[in-house]
Amino acid sequence: MRREDSLTQHVDWWLLSIVIIMLGMGIANVYSAAYDPDHPNIFDFSQKYGKQIMWVGISIFLGFLVFLIDSDIYRKFAVPIYLFCFSLLIVVLFTPPINGARAWLGIGSMGIQPAEFMKIGTAIALSRYVSTVNVKNQNVQTVFIALAIVMVPMILILLQPDAGTFVVFTSFFFVMYREGITFDPLVLKVVNLIPGVRFKDTWVGSHFIPILFYVVFLSIVTLLMSGNKYEFTFMQGVLIPGFYGVITVITVIALVAYLILRWVSSKREQRRVLLVIITGWLLSVAVSTTVNFSFSSLAQHQKDRIELVLGLRKDDDGKDYNRNRAMAAVGSGGLFGKGYKKASVASVRSNHVPESETDFIFCPLAEEWGFMGSLVIVFLFMGMLFRIIVIAERQRSTFNRVYAYCVAMIVFYHFAVNIGMNIGLAPVIGIPLPFFSYGGSSLMSFSMLLFILLKLDSQRRDVLF
């Protein structure tokens, strides 16, 4: 039932307005941050603000193109789109590195980052795949393919290396959680290897996201405790390295838990309890060991970052320079800020906060507009996320809903990590703030991500399944 309506009919004006507002604020903010008194014209294309306006123009043009194309194309051509982005990701690995990473395709500042577009490709491919899966009838293969769609690009991105985008890709796991794609078949495969055990489902498998949280939590604890710096005195002067301490604590907790559970549970359940405990213990030890091992094999600058984020070290003018300057800029904003173009710490000219027009774009914003500005930004993003969830939940097609959730999670990740690192709540990982950070690739990819969603949503009634 295709209708020959105008392109803008059934468009979600709320979301579109938020996007436009953000683009406008983004330009104003880049203009302020990168302002050069020698080139006061905002349309000066030799300057970053001029270029940003150009990129916004291109992005809106791309969005317009998206609106011209029938939304069904994404579902139909999901695999070619994915493969196209994927091939770019491979090609980029053979380019000369810029700033130590092979992330750019093209010449100089006009280049694009394939990893940014891979997010769109992965979102579409994942949506396409999940929409074909019968949630009630999952097996190892379905889980494996879903994971592969997300994780193969992740490996390539890690090869660039681009830690930021790598982290962003983990957002797709949340989408899987929402859609009920579980680890369960994989977990069952392993668990059922144990003689005499035959489960139909496990709690671990079906709630892998909560477990992932546990893993992250345990990782942080392990990092805090591990390393040769932190040793415990155990039983009259016997020093045990922190990592073994963590293992010991896990083991003790497991034993105590087993004793308590055995006491409260019936005889029939005891075997199951034992199994859960053993699994939990094994998993914990595995996580702890992995974290400990991978931490010690990390590059020094990554170690430093982790240690700084965890508050294990204070080095305001050295390793913690970026975060310290960023937080000073944000914190100095006060309630109402210093005023437009008045940032003294975060402006590009003062250069105290590095990359203040890209990854640390929140700094000039927070410094110039104060807490009120921060409030507006957080509310805008919250509004955008809510609206995307609302849109997601009203879709008739699974493809559309999964895609919407992908968009929501990607935007959320960028928001959370980017602002988090500006206020010292997240590690300093270079990912841009959507629609605010200077840079063509980020702007174009986010615009396309959002405009595709808007297009899909505007045609949601066309879909019959």
Partner 1 sequence: MNLDGRKYVILVFFILVGAIYLIRLFFMQVVDDSWKLRAQEIAEKRKEITPPRGIVFDRHDKKVVTNRSYYNLMMKEEDIHDFDTVAFAKLVGWTKQEVKDRFYQIKKGEGRYFNKNINKYQDNYQPQRAYPFIKELTIDEITRIAPHLERFPGFYEDLTSMRSYPYSGGANIFGYLNEVTKEELEEDAFYRRGDQIGRAGIERYYEKELRGQKGIKYVVTSALNNAIESYAGGKYDTLAEQGPALHLGLDIQLQVYGEKLMQNKRGCIVAIEPKTGEILALVSAPSFDPNILVGRRNIGKNYPKLLLDEGKPLYPRPLAAEYPPGSIFKLLQSLIGLQEKVITPESGFPCTKSMVGCHNHPNANNLPDGIKNSCNPYFYYVMRRIIQQGKKRSIFADAEIGLNIWYDYIMSFGLGSEFETDVTGMRSGLIPNSAYYDKWYGHNTWAFSTIRSISIGQGEVKVTPLQMANIAAIIANRGWYYTPHFVRSIGNKGPLPQFKKIHRTKVDAVHYEPVIEGMRRAVYEPGGTAKKAQVEGMIVCGKTGTAQNPHGEDHSVFIAFAPMENPKIAIAVFIENAGFGGVWAAPTASLMMEKYVHRKVKDKAKEQMIVNANLLNMKARPKKKKP
Figure out which of the listed residues 188, 366, 429, 444 binds partner 1, where binding follows CB under 8 A: 366
Burial class (CB in 10 A: 0-12, 13-18, 19+), 78: buried
* Among positions 350, 376, 462, 463, the unique one binding partner 1 when judged by CB under 8 A: 350
C-alpha to C-alpha distance for 280 and 274, rounded to whole angstroms: 10
**Shortest CB 376 distance to partner 1, Å:** 11
- Binding partner 1 (rule: CB under 8 A), the pick from 187, 327, 407, 453 is 327
Compute the least distance from the CB of residue 352 to partner 1, in Å: 5
Q: Is 103 within 8 Å of 162 (Cβ atoms)? A: yes
Sign of CA dihedral 130, 135, 140, 141: negative
Residue that is written with structure tokens 């059922």 in the block: 192
Report if residue 397 touches partner 1, rule: CB under 8 A.
no
Among positions 49, 177, 258, 403, the unique one binding partner 1 when judged by CB under 8 A:
177
Of 107, 193, 299, 335, the residue at the interface with partner 1 (CB under 8 A) is 335
CA–CA dist 244, 225 (Å, integer): 9
Measured from the Cβ of residue 389, the count of other Cβ atoms closer than 10 Å reads 15
How many residues belong to the site for partner 1 (CB under 8 A)?
Answer: 49
Contact between 119 and partner 1 by CB under 8 A: the answer reads no
Q: Closest by alpha carbon to 4, among 61, 65, 70?
A: 70
3-state secondary structure of 101: strand
Answer whether 203's CB lies under 8 Å from 273's CB: no
Using CB under 8 A, which of 187, 419, 421, 431 touches partner 1? 419
| Measured CA distances, 181 to 47, 131, 134, 286, 411 (Å) | 46, 11, 9, 23, 21
With CB under 8 A as the contact rule, the residue among 370, 430, 432, 439 that binds partner 1 is 370
Rounded Cα distance between 117 and 93, Å, is 15
Q: Is 408 in the site for partner 1 (CB under 8 A)?
A: yes
- Please identify, using beta-carbon distances, which residue of 102 and 401 lies nearer to partner 1: 401
Please report whether residue 211 would count as binding partner 1 according to CB under 8 A.
no
Residue 412 binding partner 1, by CB under 8 A: yes
Least separation in angstroms between CB 448 and partner 1: 23
Based on the shown chain and the rule CB under 8 A, indicate whether residue 444 belongs to the binding site for partner 1. no
Q: Which one of residues 180, 269, 311, 396 is an interface residue with partner 1 (CB under 8 A)?
A: 180
Separation of alpha carbons 272 and 251, rounded Å: 18
Least distance to partner 1, CB of residue 259, Å: 32
Q: Which helix (H) or strand (E) segment is 409 a member of? A: helix 398-422
In the list 345, 391, 448, 452, the residue contacting partner 1 (rule: CB under 8 A) is: 345
Helices 78-91 & 114-132, crossing angle to 10 degrees?
150
What are the residues binding partner 1 (CB under 8 A)? Answer: 135-136, 174, 177-180, 206, 324-325, 327-335, 344-345, 349-352, 366-367, 370-371, 374-375, 378, 381-382, 385-386, 389, 392-393, 405, 408-409, 412, 416, 419-420, 423-425
